[in-house]
């Protein structure tokens, strides 16, 4: 880093030739010497490190025009006689194509100061689209858009840029939203897959992308107008010929702004993306339980904003994230110099001091962290979904796209290096890799063969050792509640009593009927007494006497009827009376036989059957009465938030009122992907982490493995039951976390390439004819 704020002339007089009107200067002892005229030398003194461009122009007065001073600055910079300032970068030469010629159709102006060749604090990159167009020989275009409406919207967004407290608040909210999204990633995946359809891109994707472009453009335009004295130029362009997008030109005045202003301008679009992510995810969190489609659309909107922000924050691509880092470290061309340092290429900036090692280390660490983050996010979200929907083809497409992007970035660095080499006369790579490069390669090779344990892991849900549901077996109002949530109960303890008046009446009626039948059966089994036999005999004697009297009366009536002494009715009455008396005698004789002989077996069996049926009915009614008392089926802890206000509540048959869990011995259900289940064995050791105690690793053991795989939101899994040791009693049933089952040790390179090898051996193999 330089000590001056602006460009400083560092040439010193080496000799004054005999010819008047010229001065020979050099940048350092033994360095190249250059001849300057006296006028040029006097103008060079204006680059004293304190004056900015406007001050230099004012000091020069009418002696020279602006173009001459700018050209002198470029020549001094190329000669190594000009040192960059903290707030003003070195001017750079026009870009060249790979063959060393200026781009076809390129305007006669200098490219943005972040182009390789400048080791000063970089300026803004200008128009990405037009810069790329110029590299291809095209020109920038588009339609000018009035900035009035965009200015007000951008200023509202830039509140989070201008106020440090609000900026920190926004980033804290973004971290919280990302954490919530990670914790609810399964739910989020279901919401996203629920709106995927052929029309999704048109209904959600394109409007979200256009809205993000509008807000980020508004923020950048407002930032330029707020922190620079010049106005912003906004243009409407069309990508691929039909997709509209807005663009802000950041070249010119914005590049000449001070360091703080340039950082704010660059950060404005990133802040807008973060704000949209927070709004989208926050809206989804508030509406996700309502089941409304708006929740899914808000989540998609927030995720698209997050992806766009992540892409712009890439430290390996010259976008906002890379430029912010280069500005902050004061090293433009940071990425290119880092690549050349890694691969030992000859730097075309040999006449200028290399960037600080601290800056290169910071860039390397951030680049690695970014790549790791992107890979983790891809594996955690789209890779699984692509594998489910399109199988290995989707995963292969993603991996191929990442590979192409990486190769394109490396080729771009090497192409720029060839351009600069042609400009300053430097050649390609100089000799074999350096010792440092070979040392790093050896360390990497050693790490790749170190043993590393490959563990099976998956989503984890804590389960109790035993669980039982308490359901109503009878309908009725709750009259009494004997326990509360959290109470310890024993098996059979009464928990709740229902209204039971009807059941008690049925029990009483059934008991009375049982008593009657029991008494009748006892009487029949005891047999007839002597008095009953004597009474039966007396009935026979009486019946015989009555029959004799009736028979005599019938004989007299018959004699009288023959003599015409009585009527026919009186005769028939006398005959019928005698017949009735004869039947009464027979009945009395049969009753006497029954009384003397005891109860018949058939009668006894019928009475016993009636008694058994009535006793069964009594048992049924007594069980119904017991069903009005809800009891604990097992010993354990009462789990129910409904017991507190349950009195008076009506329960229908089958309604749940409580759960009893045994929590002394905790279990956990681990969902292991089917690709990893081969290394899981019964009895193997495992480890468990739950979200409520992320710093604690609880030991566990595999108890059982499900005999079949089943479908899950992210592919097929196999359930593995773990027995978890919980000495601190931290676990509660239904807690979630992650678990790992100890596997086998293999080389690092084998462990971390298993997924790729598995994909090739299974999916790619299936593609072969």
Provide the pairing of β-strand 33-37 with 22-26: antiparallel
b vs e for 646-667, b when ≥16 Cβ sit within 10 Å of the residue's Cβ?
Answer: beeeebeeeeebbbbbbbeebb
Encoded tokens for 429: 């790579």
Q: Locate tokens 């200028």: which residue?
A: 352
For residue 74, which of 100, 101, 45, 94 has the smallest C-alpha distance?
94
Q: How far apart are CA 268 and CA 154, in angstroms?
A: 9
* Residue 720: predicted pLDDT: 94
For residue 45, which of 73, 80, 85 has the smallest C-alpha distance?
73
* Residue 240: predicted pLDDT: 66
Under DSSP, the state recorded for 90 is P
Say what the pTM is.
Answer: 0.47
- Report helix, strand and coil shares of the chain as percent, to nearest 5: 50, 20, 30
* Residue 280: predicted pLDDT: 87
* Residue 36: predicted pLDDT: 78
Q: How far apart are CA 518 and CA 513, in angstroms?
A: 9
* Residue 389: predicted pLDDT: 52
DSSP H helices in 598-708: 601-627
SS3 481: strand
Distances (CA, A) of 436 to 342, 344, 512, 711: 9, 9, 103, 50
* Residue 255: predicted pLDDT: 62
363 phi-psi bin (left φ>0, alpha ψ -120 to 50, beta other): alpha
Q: Is the dihedral of CA 468, 474, 475, 479 positive or negative?
A: negative
Quick one: CA torsion of 445, 451, 452, 453, rounded to 10 degrees? Answer: 160
User: What's the mean pLDDT when you consider all of the chain?
Assistant: 75
Provide the pairing of β-strand 82-83 with 8-9: antiparallel
Distances (CA, A) of 492 to 489, 623, 654: 8, 15, 19
Task: Write out residues in the chain with pLDDT < 70, as ranges.
Answer: 1-3, 14-21, 28-32, 62-67, 92-142, 193-203, 240-241, 250-257, 289-292, 332-333, 339-355, 379-434, 523-532, 594-600, 664, 714
Quick one: CA torsion of 102, 104, 106, 108, rounded to 10 degrees? Answer: 50
Locate the DSSP E strands across 579-678: 629-631, 636-639, 650-651, 656-662, 666-673
Q: What is the largest CA-CA distance in the chain?
A: 201
b vs e for 47-82, b when ≥16 Cβ sit within 10 Å of the residue's Cβ?
Answer: bebebbeeebbeebeeebeeeebeebbbbbbbbbbb
Percent of the chain with pLDDT over 90: 6
Q: How far apart are CA 243 and CA 210, in angstroms?
A: 9
User: How far, rounded to the nearest angstrom, does the alpha carbon of residue 109 sit from its chain's CA centroid?
Assistant: 49
* Residue 93: predicted pLDDT: 57
For residue 310, which of 342, 287, 341, 277 has the smallest C-alpha distance?
277
* Residue 509: predicted pLDDT: 86
The predicted-structure confidence for 92-102, as pLDDT tens digits, reads as follows 655 444 344 44
Provide the pairing of β-strand 143-144 with 12-15: unpaired
Cβ distance 636 to 566 under 8 Å? no
- HSE, side-chain direction, 13 A CA sphere, residue 214: 12
């Amino acid at each position: 880093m330089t000590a001056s704020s602006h460009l400083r002339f560092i040439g010193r007089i080496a000799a004054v030739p005999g010819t008047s009107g010229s001065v020979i200067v050099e940048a350092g002892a033994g360095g190249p010497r250059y001849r300057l005229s006296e006028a040029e030398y006097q103008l060079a003194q204006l680059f004293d490190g304190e004056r900015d461009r406007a001050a230099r122009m004012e000091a020069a007065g009418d002696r020279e025009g602006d173009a001459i001073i700018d050209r002198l600055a470029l020549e001094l910079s190329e000669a190594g006689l000009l040192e960059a300032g903290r707030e003003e970068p070195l001017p750079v030469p026009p870009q060249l194509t790979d063959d060393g010629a200026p781009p076809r159709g390129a305007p006669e102006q200098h490219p943005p100061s972040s182009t390789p060749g400048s080791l000063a604090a970089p300026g803004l990159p200008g128009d990405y689209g037009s810069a790329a167009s110029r590299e291809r020989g095209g020109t920038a275009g588009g339609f000018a858009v009035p900035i009035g409406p965009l200015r007000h919207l951008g200023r509202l967004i830039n509140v989070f840029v201008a106020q440090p407290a609000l900026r920190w608040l926004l980033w804290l909210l973004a971290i919280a939203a990302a954490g919530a999204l990670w914790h609810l990633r399964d739910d989020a995946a279901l919401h996203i897959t629920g709106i995927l359809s052929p029309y999704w891109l048109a209904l959600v994707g394109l409007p979200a992308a256009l809205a993000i472009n509008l807000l980020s453009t508004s923020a950048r335009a407002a930032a330029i107008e707020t922190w620079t004295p010049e106005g912003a130029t906004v243009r409407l362009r069309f990508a691929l010929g039909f997709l509209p997008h807005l663009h802000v030109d950041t070249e010119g005045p914005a590049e000449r702004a001070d360091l703080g202003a340039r950082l704010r301008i660059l950060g404005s679009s990133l802040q807008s993306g973060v704000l949209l992510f927070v709004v989208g995810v926050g809206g989804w969190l508030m509406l996700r339980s309502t089941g409304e489609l708006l929740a899914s659309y808000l989540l998609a909107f927030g995720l698209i904003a997050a992806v766009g922000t992540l892409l712009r924050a890439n430290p390996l691509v010259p976008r906002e994230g890379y430029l912010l880092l280069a500005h902050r470290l004061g090293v433009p061309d940071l990425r290119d110099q880092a690549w050349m340092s890694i691969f030992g290429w000859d730097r075309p900036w040999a006449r200028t001091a290399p960037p600080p090692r601290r800056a290169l280390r910071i860039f390397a660490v951030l680049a690695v962290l970014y790549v790791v983050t992107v890979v983790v996010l891809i594996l955690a979200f789209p890779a699984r979904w692509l594998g489910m929907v399109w199988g290995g083809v989707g995963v292969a497409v993603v991996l191929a796209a990442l590979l192409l992007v990486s190769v394109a970035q490396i080729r771009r660095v090497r192409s720029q290096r060839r351009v600069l080499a042609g400009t300053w006369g430097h050649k390609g790579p100089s000799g074999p890799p350096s010792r440092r490069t070979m040392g790093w390669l050896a360390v990497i090779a050693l790490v790749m063969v170190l043993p590393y344990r490959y563990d099976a892991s998956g989503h984890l849900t804590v389960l109790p050792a035993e669980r039982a549901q308490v359901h109503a077996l009878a309908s009725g109002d709750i009259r009494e509640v004997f326990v509360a949530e959290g109470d310890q109960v024993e098996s059979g303890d009464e928990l709740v009593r229902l209204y039971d008046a009807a059941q008690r009446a049925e029990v009483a009626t059934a008991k009375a009927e049982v008593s009657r039948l029991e008494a009748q059966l006892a009487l029949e089994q005891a047999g007839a007494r002597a008095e009953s036999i004597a009474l039966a005999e007396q009935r026979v004697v009486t019946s015989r006497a009555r029959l004799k009297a009736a028979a005599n009366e019938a004989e007299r009536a018959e004699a009288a009827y023959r003599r015409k002494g009585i009527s026919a009715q009186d005769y028939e009455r006398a005959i019928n009376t005698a017949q009735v008396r004869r039947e009464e005698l027979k009945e009395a004789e049969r009753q006497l036989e029954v009384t003397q002989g005891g109860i018949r077996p058939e009668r006894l069996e019928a009475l016993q059957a009636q008694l058994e049926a009535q006793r069964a009915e009594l048992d049924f009614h007594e069980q119904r009465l017991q069903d009005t008392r809800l009891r604990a089926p097992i010993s354990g802890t009462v789990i129910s938030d409904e017991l507190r206000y349950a009195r008076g509540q009506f329960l229908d048959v089958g309604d749940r009122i409580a759960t009893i869990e045994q929590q002394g011995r905790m279990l956990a259900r681990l969902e292991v992907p089917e690709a990893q289940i081969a290394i899981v064995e019964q009895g193997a050791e495992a480890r468990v982490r739950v979200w409520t105690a992320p710093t604690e690793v609880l030991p566990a053991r595999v108890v059982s493995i499900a005999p079949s795989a089943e479908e899950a939101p992210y592919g097929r899994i196999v359930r593995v039951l773990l027995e978890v040791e919980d000495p601190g009693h931290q676990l509660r049933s239904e807690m979630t976390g992650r678990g790992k089952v100890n596997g086998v040790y293999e080389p690092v390179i084998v462990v971390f390439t298993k997924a790729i090898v598995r994909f090739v051996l299974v999916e790619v193999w299936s593609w072969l004819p």
